[in-house]
Structure 1
Amino acid sequence: MRPNLSVDYGSSNLIASLQPDRGAGSSYAVGSSVRFLLTTRTAGYVTLVSLDPGGNSNVLVRSAYVNAGTTSFPRAQDGAASFSVAPPRGYQRVRAIFTRARPGTDLYFQGSYDQGRWNDATNGYVQGYAPADRDVQETSFYIR
Structure 2
Amino acid sequence: MKQVLLLGTLALGLSACTINVRPNLGLATSSANLITDIRPDRGEGSTYAIGERLRLRVQTRAAGYLTLVSLDPNGNGNVLIRNAYVPAGTTTFPRPTDAFTFDVAPPRGLQRVRAIFTRSAPSTQLVFNGTYDQGRWNSVTQAYVEPYSAQDRDIQETFFYIR
Q: TM-score range by the shorter chain?
A: over 0.9
Contact 1:64 1:78 in 2 (8 A): no
SS of 1:110's equivalent?
coil
TM-score, structure 2 length as denominator? 0.82
Q: Find the partner of 1:27 among 42, 47, 52.
A: 47
CA distance in 2, matches of 1:77, 1:121: 30
Q: 1:83 to 1:122 in 2, by over 3 A?
A: same
Q: Find the partner of 1:56 among 76, 79, 85.
A: 76
Can you list the C-alpha shifts for 1:15-65, whole angstroms capped at 9, x where unaligned?
A: 000000001110100111100000000000000000111111100000000
Q: Does 1:69 align with 2:89?
A: yes
Runs ≥4 residues deviating over 4 A: none
Offset of 1:4 from its aligned partner? 7.4
Moved more, 71-80 or 22-31: 71-80
Moved more, 10-19 or 132-141: 10-19
How do 1:87-106 residues align onto structure 2 when only pairs under 5 Å count?
A: 87-106=106-125
Contact 2:29 2:156 in 1 (8 A): no
Contact 1:18 1:37 in 2 (8 A): yes
Structure 1 unmatched runs, 5+: none
Q: Does 1:18 align with 2:38?
A: yes
**What's the % identity of the aligned pairs?**
60
CA distance in 2, matches of 1:65, 1:15: 14
Offset of 1:102 from its aligned partner? 0.4
Offset of 1:78 from its aligned partner? 4.3
CA distance in 2, matches of 1:21, 1:120: 28
CA distance in 1, matches of 2:96, 2:132: 29
Contact 1:9 1:126 in 2 (8 A): no
CA distance in 1, matches of 2:141, 2:62: 21
